[in-house]
Amino acid sequence: MTVQLRPVRRLRGTVTVPGDKSISHRALILNALAEGDAVIDGFLPAADCLRTLECLKAYGAQFKREGERVRVRGRGLGRLQEPATVLDCGNSGTTMRLLCGVAAGVDGFSVLTGDASLRRRPMARVLNPLRAMGAQVDGRDGGTRAPLSLRGPSGGTLRPFAGRLETASAQVKSAVLLAALAANGVSRLEEIAPSRDHTERLLQAMGVDVRRDGPSVEIRPGNGLAPLDVRIPADLSAAAFWLVAASIVPDAELCLPAVGVNPTRSGVLDVLTAMGADIERREERMMGPEPVADLVVRSARLRGTTIDGDLVARAIDELPVLAVAAALAEGVTEIRDAAELGLKESDRIRSTAALLRALGATVEERADGLRIEGGRPLHGAALESAGDHRIAMAAAVAALVAEGECQLRGEETVAISYPTFWRDLAQITGDTAMA
Ligand code: S3P
């Protein structure tokens, strides 16, 4: 479907950004592996997280969802049942990769598939470590792409993992940690760059012995997991759209309460601050195992920057909307070391460049990122989501400052991670026609 987007001069208000997607997946999975009852509050009821919930039902966990509250009855580690059907992970890489880690520890046969985008994405990065731990895994395209099949150890346990993960990916790391819960000894893994550590924090809060030392994580499977009642912080990756929107719209001030600011995830705040954004963190505090803050953002004059090295993994999902900020900033922005961006729900090097080019920006696509010449006004255009939720939302943010109207095709894809995006946008722009 297509939506018409008009420029605005003013943004005001408080946006209650929905629950964090990464933590919502993990709260479901880890509580399904715990034995007993838990309540999750602030759950993100978006398509991706609901896929995880449905797949976990096939393993025998029980869920009762009322809006953003989910009651979980976990089966207990080692007690998951063999799924009677194929697990459809939809568009969700996190669902597929984390559930590979779960499936590797189940005494039974699991088959995982997804939509056309997910079936194109690389899976060897997660299957290889699980194979090294003794799981039987296979997949299309020489065992590298979904549909995937996994069979855990029959009656026995997996071998502990020891080694380096060649991709800086929290999904791969989490899959190994989940499989390590079913191993017969201590697993040790090393990351090439720090990735989000939500799994480690939740595991610790659930009583599992997980130790972190620089790039190394060590996990000692012991007495299983204790069910954990959790409140989930607002999603920084969703808040990022409003952080950029308020930075580039001339007269803006937005408040975003209780947003997750986990340092392994908060690269977007560092990048925007380096670009000259006016972002205030108020009331920094803990929400369960995760740090949160109320963020206040106001219009600012942005300047170009460089995003590379470890910063890339800490801002990976925010790069499309940061590219929009870069197009409006004074000077050049370079995104480097970001080949991973080409392997997301769409090839985001290509889809971000296409979006900015359609709006009249000067962008160069590179194998590992983008070079954006900022400072020129954007103009209204026909825009494409490329079937990618974050491209659709980045397009909506750019349209707020383009001269003239934009038409965005594929606007429904926001439901993957932010089902109330259009309602929230209408609220802060005062444009009731959009809600
Ligand atoms: C996620 C990790 C990141 C991120 C994705 C969510 C997670 O992917 O892009 O949206 O919840 O672990 P990679 O692990 O592939 O970097």
pLDDT digits (tens, 9 = 90+) for 381-416: 999 999 999 999 999 999 999 999 999 999 999 999
The pLDDT of residue 223:
84
Average pLDDT over residues 117-142: 97
Residue nearest to atom 11 of ligand 1 (CA): 22
Kind and range of the H or E element at 323? helix 319-328
Q: Which two tokens stand for residue 107?
A: 């005494």
Task: Identify the band that residue 86 occupies on the pLDDT scale cut at 50, 70 and 90.
Answer: very high
Residue 337 has pLDDT above 60, yes or no: yes
The pLDDT of residue 369:
98
Residue 309 has pLDDT above 70, yes or no: yes
- Catalytic residue status for 317: yes
The pLDDT of residue 192:
94
Point out the ligand 1 atom lying closest to the alpha carbon of residue 26.
11
Q: What is the pTM of this model?
A: 0.98
The pLDDT of residue 431:
79
Answer whether 32's CB lies under 8 Å from 61's CB. Answer: yes
Ligand 1 pocket check for 316: Cβ under 6 Å: yes
Amino acid (1-letter code) at residue 428: I
Answer whether 8's CB lies under 8 Å from 429's CB. Answer: yes
Residue 67 has pLDDT above 60, yes or no: yes
Residue 156 has pLDDT above 80, yes or no: no
Ligand 1 pocket check for 92: Cβ under 6 Å: no
Residue 109 has pLDDT above 70, yes or no: yes
Q: How many CA atoms lie within 13 A of 406 on its CB side?
A: 32
In the reported structure, the alpha carbon of residue 170 is separated from the centroid of ligand 1 by a whole-number distance in angstroms of 6
- Testing ligand 1's pocket by substitution, the residue of 22, 26, 98 carrying the most ligand atoms inside 8 A of its CB is 22
The pLDDT of residue 432:
59
Using CB atoms within 10 A of its CB, is residue 156 exposed (0-12), middle (13-18) or buried (19+)? exposed
Kind and range of the H or E element at 328? helix 319-328
Catalytic residue among 88, 197, 235, 317: 317
The pLDDT of residue 271:
98
Ligand 1 pocket check for 191: Cβ under 6 Å: no
β partners of residue 213: 216
Ligand 1 pocket check for 94: Cβ under 6 Å: yes
The pLDDT of residue 433:
57
The pLDDT of residue 434:
57
Cα separation, 356 vs 367, whole angstroms: 17
The pLDDT of residue 214:
87
CA-CA-CA-CA dihedral for 374, 378, 382, 384, to nearest 10: 30
Place of tokens 């895994």: 137
Residue nearest to atom 4 of ligand 1 (CA): 317
In the reported structure, the alpha carbon of residue 108 is separated from the centroid of ligand 1 by a whole-number distance in angstroms of 27
In the reported structure, the alpha carbon of residue 431 is separated from the centroid of ligand 1 by a whole-number distance in angstroms of 33
Average pLDDT over residues 273-278: 98
- Testing ligand 1's pocket by substitution, the residue of 121, 165, 169 carrying the most ligand atoms inside 8 A of its CB is 169
Point out the ligand 1 atom lying closest to the alpha carbon of residue 174.
12
Ligand 1 pocket check for 50: Cβ under 6 Å: no
Average pLDDT over residues 271-294: 98
- Testing ligand 1's pocket by substitution, the residue of 316, 318, 340, 344 carrying the most ligand atoms inside 8 A of its CB is 316
Ligand 1 pocket check for 169: Cβ under 6 Å: yes
| SS (HEC) of 226-254 | CCCCEECCECHHHHHHHHHHHHHCCEEEE
In angstroms, how far is CA 404 from the centroid of its own chain? Answer: 32
Show contacts of 352-355: CB within 8 Å, 24+ apart.
Answer: 352/319, 352/320, 352/323, 352/391, 352/394, 354/384, 354/386, 355/320, 355/323, 355/324, 355/383, 355/384, 355/391, 355/394, 355/395, 355/398
In the reported structure, the alpha carbon of residue 145 is separated from the centroid of ligand 1 by a whole-number distance in angstroms of 17
In percent, how much of the chain has pLDDT > 90?
Answer: 97
pLDDT digits (tens, 9 = 90+) for 338-384: 999 999 999 999 999 999 999 999 999 999 999 999 999 999 999 99
Order of strands across the sheet with 406-409? 2-5, 406-409, 382-384
β partners of residue 403: 379
